[in-house]
Amino acid sequence: MPRLKLGVLISGRGSNLQALIASCADPSFPAEIVIVVSNKSDAKGLDHARAAGIATAVVEHGGYRNRESFDRAVHDVLVGEGAELVCLAGFMRLLSSWFVETWHDRIVNIHPSLLPSFKGIDAHAQAIAAGAKLSGCTVHIVRAEMDAGPILVQAAVPVLPGDDEDSLAARILTMEHKCYPLAVKLIAEGRVQIDGDTAIIDMPGDTDDHIISPSVR
Ligand code: GAR
């Protein structure tokens, strides 16, 4: 079966990109990365892609007169490489409605909170400030509104007494690296059906797993 072709957009560290690279290295994984695009030439994630022999492109937004013209340049790179699904992996730019509509239901994003709670750039600080006892991460289909769209996969982690942004971010990041490959796998296997603002996932069976925080002893 042909593997789903991914275009991954990054702006920085690229640890989620690295998790996708690691999953795609398994020949039985149903997707492959055909291009990594960064809007920053010094993004660390570019090194992960190069080390894995994956094509990279830098499209710096400073060179474009507005958001849509930048997005059209990114689009041209993605189409040129045959990308079928766009994965935002720490891509810290809002996309134009033109791009979101052109790639309708074919853009996924990862965000470090249990959406729809705590949208935006300071999700960990928001969770701590709210006194949340659980937070986590969400992989979702992208809509024009920031950090919104049909939810594909979520993982929850406890927010522990004494947590600061860094300790909570580290706990969530471990889950991000599991959730992003899982979401891509579900899409590639045709197990995701988008119904308006929600995603229906074809999953065998059900579990009675649960998480209570603080845990009951
Ligand atoms: C990740 O924690 C991701 O969830 C977050 O940026 C980080 C990128 O890390 N994305 C957002 O906050 C999007 N709203 P990475 O470059 O190591 O993958």
Whole-number Å distance between alpha carbons of 81 and 34: 6
* Mean pLDDT across 190-204: 93
pLDDT of residue 29: 98
> In the numeric block, which tokens belong to residue 205?
């069976």
**4-192, what's its fold?**
Rossmann fold (3.40.50)
* Mean pLDDT across 148-160: 97
Going by alpha carbons, the residue nearest to atom 5 of ligand 1 is 90
Shortest-distance atom of ligand 1 to CA 14: 16
> Could you tell me whether strands 85-88 and 107-111 are parallel, antiparallel, or unpaired per DSSP bridges?
parallel
Going by alpha carbons, the residue nearest to atom 13 of ligand 1 is 111
* Mean pLDDT across 28-51: 98
> Which of 75, 111, 124, 140 is an active site residue?
111
CB atoms within 10 A of CB 99: 22
* Distance from residue 38's CA to the centre of ligand 1 (Å): 14
pLDDT of residue 205: 66
Which carries the bigger pLDDT value, residue 211 or residue 133? 133
Task: List pLDDT tens digits, range 112-129.
Answer: 999 999 999 999 999 999
b/e code 174-196 from CB counts within 10 Å (16+ = b): ebbbebbbebbbbbbeeebebee
Q: What are phi and psi of 98, to 5 degrees?
A: -60, -50
Going by alpha carbons, the residue nearest to atom 16 of ligand 1 is 14
> In the numeric block, which tokens belong to residue 70?
């930048």
Which carries the bigger pLDDT value, residue 204 or residue 137? 137
% of the chain at pLDDT higher than 70 = 97
Reported confidence tier of residue 63, pLDDT bands at 50, 70, 90? confident
Reported confidence tier of residue 10, pLDDT bands at 50, 70, 90? very high
Whole-number Å distance between alpha carbons of 43 and 200: 34
Question: Is 111 one of the catalytic residues?
Answer: yes
* Distance from residue 119's CA to the centre of ligand 1 (Å): 12
Q: What are phi and psi of 14, to 5 degrees?
A: 80, 30
Give me the residue spans of the domains in the chain.
4-192
* Mean pLDDT across 39-47: 98
* Mean pLDDT across 11-16: 98
Does residue 135 have a pLDDT over 70?
Answer: yes
* Mean pLDDT across 125-134: 98
Q: Per mean pLDDT, which range of 3-12, 22-31, 44-53, 56-65 is the poorest?
A: 56-65
Task: List pLDDT tens digits, range 70-122.
Answer: 999 999 999 999 999 999 999 999 999 999 999 999 999 999 999 999 999 99
Does residue 209 have a pLDDT over 80?
Answer: no
What's the CA dihedral at 209, 212, 216, 217 to 10 degrees? 60
- If you average pLDDT over every residue of the chain, what do you get? 95
Whole-number Å distance between alpha carbons of 211 and 196: 29
List all residues whose CB is within 6 A of at least one atom of ligand 1. 12-16, 45, 89-90, 110-112, 147, 173, 176
Whole-number Å distance between alpha carbons of 41 and 63: 13
Shortest-distance atom of ligand 1 to CA 17: 18
Shortest-distance atom of ligand 1 to CA 146: 14
* Distance from residue 89's CA to the centre of ligand 1 (Å): 6
* Distance from residue 169's CA to the centre of ligand 1 (Å): 10
